[in-house]
A = this chain, B = another copy of it.
Amino acid sequence: MTDTAPGTGGRRRGRPPRTESAGTRERILDAAREEFAERGYEKTSVRGIAKAAGVDSALVHHYFGTKEQVFEAAVEVALVPALKVRDAVLEAPLDDVGERMTRFLFGLWENPATRKPLLAIVRSAVTNEAAATVFRRLVASQLLRRIAGEIDAPDAELRAELAAAQLVGIAMMRYVIKIEPIASADIERIVERVAPVVQGHLTGP
């Protein structure tokens, strides 16, 4: 119907002619994110992903290769949009960064589109070295080192990491292990207490 073969003079002349079947690829990635987020790397099976996506498991391999490559394809791209928000955090004035980092964390975790890949990473990073590498790159290289770069102190890196540890711990207890009452607590009440602590780690005495 909307299809136009190359050379017919139709609309999408520039589009590469591969990929006939609409969103199969995306459906697989969606399913993979969901499975990895819920079960972690080891407990997730390629067959399970395929079933959730309504396709055969061989097709998953056909698109992405090994299970580990499925993980990378499903998880890492989903966090790219978050990089823009991160840049906004980093461009803010430094005496504001505690609250901004804290709100950045909750922004990521309260949004289902980013919570799933994050859950997948955390659930997998504790046992899978590839996922641990993604985690390190995400937390350490992408965020901490840049924040540390702006702090004028001899122990800038340690400070930045302790601030991150506070936030990582909250994410673990609220979103992964789900310990009450922090799992259900109002975000504003948490921000109120945590933002000054993060700020203190970074620029305090």
Contact = CB atoms under 8 A, between A and B. Distances in A.
A181 B162 CA distance: 10
A167 B136 CA distance: 19
Contact of A179 (B161, B169, B176): B161
Contacts of A155: 189, 193
Nearest to A180: B140
A197 B166 CA distance: 10
A177 interface: yes
A176 B135 CA distance: 12
Contact of A177 (B135, B167, B169, B182): B135
A127 B136 contact: no
A179 B137 CA distance: 10
A86 interface: no
Contact of A132 (B127, B158, B177): B177
B162 A193 contact: yes
A194 to B, nearest CB: 6
Looking at chain A's contact residues, the main secondary structure is: helix
| Copies in the assembly, this chain | 2
Interface of A: 39-40, 42-43, 122-123, 125-127, 132, 135-136, 139-140, 155, 157-159, 161-162, 164-170, 172-173, 176-182, 185, 189-190, 193-194, 197, 200-201
A127 B126 CA distance: 10
Given A127-B123, A200-B197, A161 B177 contact: no
- When A and B form their complex, which 10 residue pairs have the shortest distance between CB atoms, in order from nearest? A169-B169, A165-B169, A42-B42, A40-B127, A168-B169, A161-B182, A165-B170, A166-B166, A123-B126, A42-B43
A182 to B, nearest CB: 4
A167 to B, nearest CB: 7
A143 B188 CA distance: 25
Identify the interface centre among A168, A193, A194: most chain B CB within 10 Å of its CB.
A168
A168 B172 contact: yes
A175 to B, nearest CB: 11
